Structure 1
Amino acid sequence: MSFTSKTVAIAIALSTALPAFAEGIMVHDAYARAARPGAPTGAAFMQIMNHSSEDDRLLSVASEVAKRVELHTHKDLGEGVMKMMEIEEGLAIPAGGKHGLARGGDHVMFMGLNQDFVQGESVEITLTFEKAGDVVVQVPIDLERQDHGGMEHGDKAHKHKDH
């Protein structure tokens, strides 16, 4: 690999690792994953921080990577059964506060993936906020990451009902 190719590759890697920021909203530590190659669904996780003096609300999310993209959460139905469901009212991001999208909790859900998620590549998503407007984020694909707590979609300890 030539010096120029290495420089371009490093610049691309750094640009996807940097947080997205617009109108007081900052997105940090974002990553996306799918359970396996050819999976019909995937998810994205991140920390959303509101550095403004006004509460805001994440209303929706969009991406070309899937036929449908929604804000999702898990609801405990009891007896160890969890159901994933859309968060239609959006997510409140308090002034000076943050909201985490994490495995086992609130997250971005990609349904009907148009492409496989490939380790090290990225997907572009647009987060639409009530006050801050659209925030475009390049989300790195990390199929190996094990953090962000909670249950994983494939965790055998939990049963999921179809959504």
Structure 2
Amino acid sequence: MKRLAAPAALLTGALALAGCGGSAGSDDSGGSRAELSVSSSYMPQPVSPDMAAGFLTVVNKGGTADKLTSVTSTASGDVTMHSTMGGAMKEKTSFTVPAHGRLVFRSGGNHLMFDALKRKPKQGDTVTLKLTFAKSAPLTVEMPVKSATYNPSTGH
């Protein structure tokens, strides 16, 4: 009888641990998801009639990272995402938005390129963007068009 009690106790303990692991995973996924928002968006008034750059910051207050997988706009036929490292620009298919962090698109760094503009945006206009993520719901952003020489650190 003692020989059967030990394996039965081990099996019961293993089943209890497996059950705990599953429920803990379920609770964690709801409480640690990405919480995304956008700030500091702007487009310098483009010099070219068919191409423009855009900048913004995606903030993640959640406990899970996400990926920005695409950007679209009714103002443009194509919006691409680019990284800049050592002066070299490279098109990217996605960017990670870290948990409790931010993804920054700024002049001289990561940026958005609007190709095949339907019309040339002018200072004071607003361009609507849709940001699509791997896990989170899409975000719609109203991006103001600023002067061609706008610098966010000075506000001019």
Q: Same fold (TM over 0.5)?
A: yes
Deviation at 1:85, TM superposition (A): 2.4
Q: For residue 127 of structure 2, what is the aligned residue in structure 1?
A: 123
Deviation at 1:47, TM superposition (A): 1.2
TM-score (norm 2): 0.70
Distance 1:39 1:83, change over 3 A: farther
Q: CA RMSD in A?
A: 1.9
User: Aligned letter for 2:115?
Assistant: M
Q: For residue 46 of structure 2, what is the aligned residue in structure 1?
A: 35
Deviation at 1:39, TM superposition (A): 2.7
Deviation at 1:134, TM superposition (A): 0.8
Deviation at 1:145, TM superposition (A): 1.1
1:81-160 equivalent positions in 2, closer than 5 A: 82-88=87-93, 90-143=94-147, 144-147=149-152
Q: For residue 67 of structure 1, what is the aligned residue in structure 2?
A: 77
Identity across the alignment (%): 27
2:74 & 2:68 partners in 1: Cα distance?
19
Match of 1:25 among 25, 29, 36: 36
1:33–1:117 contact (8 Å) kept in structure 2: no
1:113 & 1:73 partners in 2: Cα distance?
21
Distance 1:129 1:91, change over 3 A: same
2:82 & 2:45 partners in 1: Cα distance?
15
2:88 & 2:80 partners in 1: Cα distance?
15
Q: For residue 45 of structure 1, what is the aligned residue in structure 2?
A: 55
Larger relative helix fraction: 2
User: Aligned letter for 1:24?
Assistant: E
TM-score (norm 1): 0.67
Task: Summarize deviations over 1:62-115 as a string: whole Å, max 9, x none.
Answer: 111111111112243xxxxx3432112x11111111111001111111011111
1:109 & 1:73 partners in 2: Cα distance?
11
Bigger radius of gyration among the two: 2
1:120 & 1:35 partners in 2: Cα distance?
12
Q: For residue 3 of structure 2, what is the aligned residue in structure 1?
A: none
Q: Which runs of no fewer than 5 residues in structure 2 stay unpaired?
A: 1-33
User: Aligned letter for 2:140?
Assistant: V
